[in-house]
Each structure stands twice: as C-alpha cells, then as structure tokens.
Structure 1
Amino acid sequence: MLAWLATRPEDKLKISRSIFAYENPSAINRVTFTGNNDTVELIYNGRQWKVNGQYEADPQRISVLFAILKQMRVRRRVAKQQQGVIVERFKNDGMEVAFFEGDDKVHDFYVYGEEESRLTYVAESPESPAYIVEIPGYRSYLAGIYQLDKNGWRNPVAFDINWANLQSVKVIYPGREENSFDVVYGNSFYKISQLTATDTTKLTDFLDDVSLLYVNDYLNEDEEEQYSQIIKAIPQASVQVTDVAGRIHTLEVYDVLPDNRQIMGRIDSTDYVILNLNETRKILRPKSFFEKKKE
C-alpha cells in the first residue's frame, strides 16, 4: 500500500530529475554516512580509499557508489499522505550522506530504503519533501550501498597478493604436519619444497585460488560472541602468504558453520571473517595433492 501511494501519478512534481545526483564526483575525496548509532567515513589518501582511516576499502563498491551518485534520478515525489510516515522513518532509520572535496562539503542528502519493496527515498533533510529515486532502466536497490556498515565497505580480498608480488606460501595443519607444505620460488617457477617433483598445473590453480579468495563478511564483536564456540577451538589450518617486501599475511581457518556452506576464519590474527566453504577448501590441499605422478 505504501509503495502504491508513494508512486501515484498525481503526486508527480516538475523538478529536475537529477536534483540529488552529482555529475562530476572525480574530485570527491571524502564521504561520510551518518546514522543514529554510527558514522562511517571513506577517505581517499591519494593512493587508495580507506574506511574510517583504518581499513582498505572495497574498490568495486567505491566505483558503484559514484556510479549511483552520477546516475541517480528522481522518479516522483512521495504522496502527501505518506510524507509524515517517511519523515519518521528518515529520523529513525535514515542515513545522512555527505560528500567532500577537501574540507568543503559539496553535496549531501538523507536516504532511507525499504528492501522488501526495493524503494529508495531521498530528501534534503528528514523534514523536507521526500522523493523516490532510481537509475532509469535498472531495478537496483539503491539504498543498499548507503546503508553499509564499516565492515560492508572493507576490501573483501583475503590476501592482497598477485603473481607479481608473491614470494612464498606456507600451509600448516596443526596435528597433521605430514600434510603441511611450503610453496617457494625455485629456478623459473614455484614449487613445493617438500616434494621432489611438483605438479605445476595443480600448483598454478592453487596460487590462483589463494589470490582470488574473498571474504563473505567481516564480523563485529556481537557476531564474534555468536560464534564463540567455533573461534575458541584450535584452527584446523593456517595459511601464511609472504610478499616480496617481506610482509606476511595470514588466514587461520576454523570449523564449518551450521549452514554447511560457509566456514569461519581469522585474518592476520585480528579480524574474524566468514568465507565460502567450497572456495576455502581449494586452498586447503594436503601436500600429497601436488605430487607429480610418475609417467
């Protein structure tokens, strides 16, 4: 009913459809998302975007944010009968989004979304007239990008590594040391140091899987408590990746979650994360898996 009332033809207004868009965001170097309980800040430091000055931001989501900002258009104004309801929702669940160029605030608005109806409402302030916005031709839920918490903005790559900066990989299985192994660079390619002959095809696939492993979600403190029984246990495996600068990145892998599709991990002994089970299994191979078969 709310969606129908909010989109009645008689409530259309003659305004610029791009009133909430920002056509050239290339100079924006700071964005804040302020809700009732928290503020998330994205800052560009000249090299990369950071979340709250601490974590590397997801570059793909940054690109989506600015694409939406450029293309967001007003569909129509919220029905007058529903304006009071929307005002309360802006106040209780809305988000103020502000964009900065240097120290200057160049654009801001309030946003509220209903995921069930896929409608996104935007206004200049909670009490101002509210509008339903969209990207013409798409049925995207635009409010979703603005409602992300700090963990939702973090780079989901488990290991910031590629073929150009990889030095070595160590996989350790506590209590099953016979399965542990080291990947090192020798002669013209990588090899398993504990094997006399390495299957390079399998090893290449393994290294690709390591570099392409993504985090499904970073856990906050409340969520860590929810999974306390899992994270109190000894990890079943540890993956240590060293880059050419000598930096070591670690992933400890714990037990499978109750849904049997995800698994618990911890990155750099700090952040507990949820990973895709099948993708994680690809990097938890035993040493024998890489042994080249005799022809």
Structure 2
Amino acid sequence: MTKVQQLSGVLIALVLVSVALFVFDGKGGGSDNIDRTRFLVEDTAAIQSVTINSKAFDLKVEKQEGSWVLNDSLAVDPSVMRVMKSILSQVNVQRPISQLNVEEIRELLRNTGQQVTLELNGEEKTFFAGGNVNKTQAYFADADLENIYLVNIPGYNHYLSGIFELTPNQWRDRELFDSNYRSIQNLTIDYADGSQLVLEFEDRFFAVNQLQRIDTAVLMDYLNGFEGFLLNDYLSPGMFPSYDSLLQTEPIAKLNLTDIDASKNRALEIYAKIPGEQFYLLSDGKQEMMVVDERRTEMLLKREDDFKLDDSKEED
C-alpha cells in the first residue's frame, strides 16, 4: 500500500468518525425532530408552586392569597420570581447531550443538580437542572434523567440553571425598609454610648431631638433613603461563625422605625463591624441575622449633629 493510499484510508476513517460524532452529538441526523420547547412554560401565570430538591437544600415557593411565599412563611424576592419565569418562558432545547459523555453528565446531575417540580393548574411538570463545572453550559433533563439536553435562550449568555441553584436565603425578599418621609411617624436610634437620635413627625414636619434649626435637605435625603432599602444577604447559623459570635455581643445601636403602615415597622439591632469585613450585622427581634454593606449601614447611623443647620447655609 502506497503512502498516498494509507493517508487516504486515514482520511476516510476520520471523516466517518466525524460524521458519527456529529450524529451522536445531536447536531446531525434527526436533530430537526427535536422538541425545542420541551421545557418551555408558555403561560407562567399558571404556575402555582415551585419545588426544588437537591442534596444541598430543599425549598418550596408557593402562591398563597396572591403572594409568593417561601417554605410556608417567608416573603419571596419578586425579582427572583421574575427571572425564573422569564427563563421558563423562553428556554430552548439546543441539542441532546453527546452520547460520548452522557453518563458523566447524568451522574453530575444526579449528584449536584436540582430536581425542579412545577405545579401548573393542578398538574406537575418535573425536570432536572444543572450544568458543567464552570457554569458555562446549562443542562435540563427529563424527570428520569434518561434524556438530557443542552439548553439556552438565544441571545442570552447567562447560565440558565443558576436560578434553580439559589439557596433558600437567596430566594427571600431582601427589602429591609420601604418607608419615606410621607409614611414615617417616628424613628429612634439608641447608641451604645448613651446618645440618642429621635426623629418624630409633629404637626406638619419632623422634629429632630431638640434642634431649633434643622437642615431640611439633609433630613429629607435621609428619610427617603429608607424607601426600597435592601439588605445584602441573610445569614444562617453556622455559615460564618464570626458573625454567630458577634450576635452574642452588645449592639452598637438599636433602631426603631414606626410607619403609618404597621407592616413596615422595624426594630433592629446593629452590631460592630468585624475588622477587615465589608458588612455590618443586623438582627431583628427573632435574632435573624442579616448583613448590610458598610456604606449604606453608616448612612443609617446618623446623629443629631448631622441634621444641624450650618450657619453658613441658607434655607430655601
């Protein structure tokens, strides 16, 4: 056999292998017959509950009296719900997973994936969601893990399965305050050094301690800062032992806010920032732990002098 014949034989073999891989990879053969809407939810308004089970955590988000509730008692972050519904309404099956590594991916989903069950008008739809180690490819699979697909949203380059990997704390509503100067009735901050800040609505405007001259611009900015104020994250006991220990110390300040709407009232304890950390620990009456970044926490911790009108300033 000549060298040319040998090379020709190798070339033919490589072509055959390439064709086989193309077919097995789901890009050839019957790829046109793929149901690309296999995991699509056309009417996300029909979703009544979402249950996510994994080896790391279990959670259930359920619509109760028109509101989404996490694990029967906690408010859900509306932005997380919007993202999940948007993904489910647009998810597209790109291709089946290659037969060459389907067993590896099946095992990956079994060990690290999330089993997602949607209740849609009384009917259940179950699938597995996960991805590769680098979170650059998202995989959805049937409930029995028999058929596994690479999924995407055309034009959307983010990792689709990430929404189902959020922990229960990350599903929670992060709105800490939602008050402003129109609704706040009283705000008191008691500091560990014995000083106190009292803002109280009197007659037609706010009194600040016993100050006679108030910088109203500073005061209005401060009060409006409570509107749509989000905490950064919730902490579960054991996640960060240093914060668990901090909860046993005396707080540096206690903040009490009274709103026209009693559901927006807040009573919080604020603890000293751990050196080198970027967050303050806050806790409510249930000793639930929350963290808020340094800049915004210190914006909350105003003192009387911050509202004194500088003699060099003129009020409008």
User: Is the TM-score greater than 0.5?
Assistant: yes
- Is the 8 Å Cα contact of residues 209 and 304 (structure 2) preserved in structure 1? no
Residues 132-147 of structure 1: pairs in structure 2 closer than 5 A: 132-147=150-165
Return the match for 1:188 from 204, 209, 223. Answer: 204
- Which of 85, 90, 97 is the aligned partner of 2:116? 97
Aligned partner of 1:150 among 162, 168, 177: 168
In structure 1, the residue matched to 2:104 is 85
Amino acid at match of 1:214: L
CA contact (8 A) 1:224 1:272 kept: no
Which digits, 9 at most, give the CA deviation of each residue in 1:151-182, with x for residues without a partner? 110011112434554322111212241xx212
Q: 1:117 to 1:244 in 2, by over 3 A?
A: closer
Say whether the 8 Å CA contact 2:238–2:244 is kept in structure 1.
Answer: no
Deviation track 1:168-202 (CA, whole Å, cap 9, x = no partner) reads: 2111212241xx21222123333324322222211
Instruction: Provide the residue aligned with 2:297 in structure 1.
Output: 280
Structure 1 residue runs without a partner (length 5+): 1-7
Matching residue's letter, 2:260: V
Q: Render the CA deviation track for 1:102-153: whole Å, top value 9, x for unaligned.
A: 5x23422110123624211100125312111111101111111101121110
Separation in structure 1 between the aligned mates of residue 305 and residue 70 of structure 2, nearest angstrom: 41
SS of the aligned residue for 1:80 comes to: coil
| Aligned pairs for 1:20-99 within 5 A | 20-99=39-118
Name the SS for the 1:201 alignment partner. helix
Q: Is contact 2:128–2:141 with CA below 8 Å preserved after alignment?
A: yes
CA distance in structure 2 between the partners assigned to 1:238 and 1:126 by the alignment = 52
Structure 1 residues 99, 169: closer, same or farther in 2, change over 3 A?
same
1:217 aligns with 2:233: yes
Aligned to 1:166, which of 176, 184, 188?
184
Quote the offset at 1:47 in angstroms: 3.2
Deviation at 1:85, TM superposition (A): 0.7
CA distance in 1, matches of 2:93, 2:48: 25
Partner of 2:61, secondary structure, is strand
Q: SS of the residue aligned with 2:89?
A: helix
Q: Kindly report which structure 2 residues correspond to 1:192-211, keeping only aligned pairs within 5 A, or say none.
A: 192-211=208-227
| Residue aligned with 2:175, SS | coil
Q: Which letter does structure 2 place at the counterpart of 1:277?
A: E
2:128·2:145 contact (CA, 8 Å) conserved in 1? Answer: no
CA distance in 2: counterparts of 1:111 and 1:100, whole angstroms: 16
Is the CA contact 1:158–1:267 (under 8 Å) kept in the aligned structure 2? Answer: no
What is the number of equivalent residue pairs in this alignment? Answer: 285
Gaps of 5+ in 2: 1-20
Tell me which residue corresponds to 2:272: 255
In the TM superposition, residue 213 of structure 1 has moved relative to its aligned partner by 2.7
SS class of match (2:229): coil
Aligned alpha-carbon RMSD (Å): 2.1
SS in 2 for 1:211: coil
**Kept in 2: contact 1:237–1:253 (CA 8 A):** yes
Distance change (3 Å), C-alpha of 1:160 and 1:29: farther
Q: TM-score, normalised by structure 2?
A: 0.83
Higher alpha-carbon Rg? 2
Identity %: 25
Is the Cα–Cα contact under 8 Å of residues 42 and 49 in structure 1 kept in the other structure? yes
The one of 243, 257, 279 aligned to 1:241: 257
User: Do the aligned residues in 2 keep the contact of 1:58 with 1:156 (CA within 8 Å)?
Assistant: yes
Amino acid at match of 1:60: S
